Amino acid sequence: MPDVPNATELSLFEPVLKEYESALRVPLRVRCPRRPFSKPIDAPGLHLHLFAVPRRLPLLSLTGEAPMITLPMAFGHPLDESARWALTLPRRTRIGAALRDAEGRALAYLLDRNIFVLFDVMGQSQELAPLLLRQLLDHAFEMMTTDLAAQSGQHPDRIRAILASLRRTTDLEEMRWRGKRSALARSSFLESRSERIADEIGFLEAEIRSTEQTLDGVSRHLTAETRHLQGCRRRLRQLKGESDREEVDVVREFQRLSELPDVTDVTALADGLRIITHPITVEHGGRLHALGTFQIDLSYSGQITIRNLTNRHGFYDHPHIWDGKACLGNIREGLAKLIGELQLAAAAEVLLDFIRTISPKDWHVSIEHWREIDRAGRPSSVYPDGLKPAR
C-alpha cells in the first residue's frame, strides 16, 4: 500500500510543516507507512516517517517484525491511553542516531535525511499531536544542523538562530496547551465534585428521612412503654386499694391546655387531641415575622403533627417543619415520655416553645419566607411568592 498520507491524515500537521519549511527553506516530506517499516529516502529535503523504523536495519529486516513497548509519555506529556505503543530499536545500531527524551526512551531515529518517529504521534489528541510534532522537529533539527545548512544554503549560525526562534514558538504553544489542559482538569474536577456533592446531598437527605422515620418509631415505642408503665402503676394502686387519679389528671390536663396563652382551642380526637394556636410571631435578627396559626395533633401513641393553617409556604409549615413533620431534635425523647405519662399540657408547652424558636443552623427554609411585621403587627415589607434558599 502507498506510504503517501492523505489530506485528512496530515490536516493537523500541515500548519507546523509549512512553518518549518518556510523558516528553514528545506522541503519536508511525510510518509505514513501502513506497516511499521519504511524505506529510507536519499532525495533532497527532509523525510518524516510516522510510526516506523528503517526497513534495512539489521535484524529487523530478517524477522519481519518490529518489537513494541508501552510509552506512557513523550516529552513530558501523557499520551492517549489508546495510542501508547512505541517501536523499539536494536540495542546495537551502528548507523544513525536515536533521539531520546529526558528519561532515555527513544522517540525517534535519525538516519541521513530521514526522521523515523517511533511512537504513534498521529493517534494523539488534536491539541497534543501538533505540539509533539514541533518538539520532535526541534530536537531532530538540532542534531541535523549541518545538513540543513547545506541544503538551504544558509550559514550554520543562521540555521541555529532560526531553530532557536522556532523553539520559542514551541515553548509558547506548550504553555498554551498546558494552560488549556489545566483549565480542563480544573473544570472536570469541579464538575465531578459537584456530582459527588449532589450524590452526597441525595444520600444525606435519604438518610435523614430514614432516621426521622426510625426516630418516630422509637418515640412511639417509648410512649407506648411509658403508657404501659403507667398502666402497671395504676393496676398496682388498685390492688393496694388506692384511689385511681388518672381520670382526674386527664381533666386537669385539658383545663391547663385551655389556659395556655398561645392556645385558642382544644379538641378531643379518637386517639389524642388537637390544639389550635393563636397567630404566632417570632423575632429573628431584630425583626418580627408572622408565622401564622398552627394546628398541633398529639396522638396518645406518641405521633406529633404540626400544620400551619394560615401561612404555609409550599410544603413548609415553619422553618423547622416540612409537611407537618417537625424536626424535634433532642426534645423528641422528652416529649414521648410526657405524652406517655399524659402530661399533655407540658408536652404542648414544649411544642409551642419549639414553634416560637428559630435556628438558622437547623432550619429547612429561611424565616425570610414569612412576612415581616412591625411591633404593632402591621406588614413592614413584602416578599416574593417564591421560596428562598435557606441561609
Q: What is the pLDDT of residues 244-264, one digit of tens each?
A: 555 546 677 778 888 888 899
The rounded percent of the chain whose pLDDT value lies above 90 is 34
CA distance 127 to 176: 10
Average pLDDT score over residue span 352-362 = 87
Mean per-residue pLDDT over the chain, rounded: 81
The answer to whether position 173 is within a domain reads: no
DSSP E strand boundaries for 118-188: none
CA distance 34 to 56: 17
pLDDT at position 245, please?
52
For residue 119, list its beta bridge partners.
86
Beta-sheet pairing, 294-299 with 304-308: antiparallel
Return contacts of 255-263, CB within 8 angstroms, 24+ apart: 256/345, 257/344, 257/345, 257/348, 260/345, 260/348, 260/349, 260/352, 262/352, 262/356, 263/348, 263/352
The answer to whether position 43 is within a domain reads: yes
Same domain membership, residue 214 and residue 125:
no
Which domain-ending residue is among 124, 154, 184? 154
Q: Which of 61, 70, 37 is nearest to 51 (CA)?
A: 37
CA distance 37 to 222: 83
The answer to whether position 148 is within a domain reads: yes
Which domain-ending residue is among 120, 154, 188? 154
The answer to whether position 369 is within a domain reads: yes
The answer to whether position 89 is within a domain reads: yes
Tell me: the pLDDT tens digits for 49-97?
999 888 765 444 444 456 788 999 999 889 999 999 899 887 666 788 9
pLDDT at position 110, please?
94
pLDDT at position 239, please?
60
pLDDT at position 67, please?
78
Same domain membership, residue 204 and residue 150:
no
Same domain membership, residue 232 and residue 144:
no
Using 50, 70 and 90 to split pLDDT, how confident is the model at 101?
confident
Beta-sheet pairing, 37-38 with 53-54: parallel
* Residue 244: all three cell numbers together: 385511681
The answer to whether position 388 is within a domain reads: no
What is the domain count for the chain? 2
Tell me: the pLDDT tens digits for 2-14?
455 555 567 889 9
Same domain membership, residue 210 and residue 305:
yes
The answer to whether position 225 is within a domain reads: yes
Q: Judge if pTM exceeds 0.75.
A: no
- What residues contact residue 298 under an 8 Å CB cut-off, 6+ apart? 272, 273, 274, 275, 304, 339, 344, 347, 348
Query: Phi/psi zone of residue 286: left (φ > 0), alpha (ψ -120 to 50 degrees), beta?
Result: left
The answer to whether position 383 is within a domain reads: no
Residue numbers of the domain that contains 68 = 7-154
Average pLDDT score over residue span 156-184 = 91
Same domain membership, residue 250 and residue 145:
no
Give the least confident one: 8-12, 24-28, 226-230. Answer: 226-230
Q: Which of 281, 278, 277 is nearest to 367 (CA)?
A: 281
Task: Name the strands in the sheet holding 321-322, side by side, starting at the edge strand that comes first in the sequence.
Answer: 316-318, 321-322, 325-326
Same domain membership, residue 206 and residue 134:
no
Same domain membership, residue 137 and residue 64:
yes
Same domain membership, residue 212 and residue 87:
no
Average pLDDT score over residue span 269-287 = 88
Same domain membership, residue 113 and residue 217:
no
C-alpha distances out from residue 285 to 155, 158, 259, 353, Å: 81, 76, 30, 18
Same domain membership, residue 211 and residue 97:
no
Same domain membership, residue 368 and residue 219:
yes
CA distance 316 to 46: 76
Same domain membership, residue 204 and residue 103:
no
Most confident option among 187-191, 281-285, 306-310, 339-343: 306-310
Q: Is 9 helix (H, G, I), strand (E, B) or coil?
A: helix
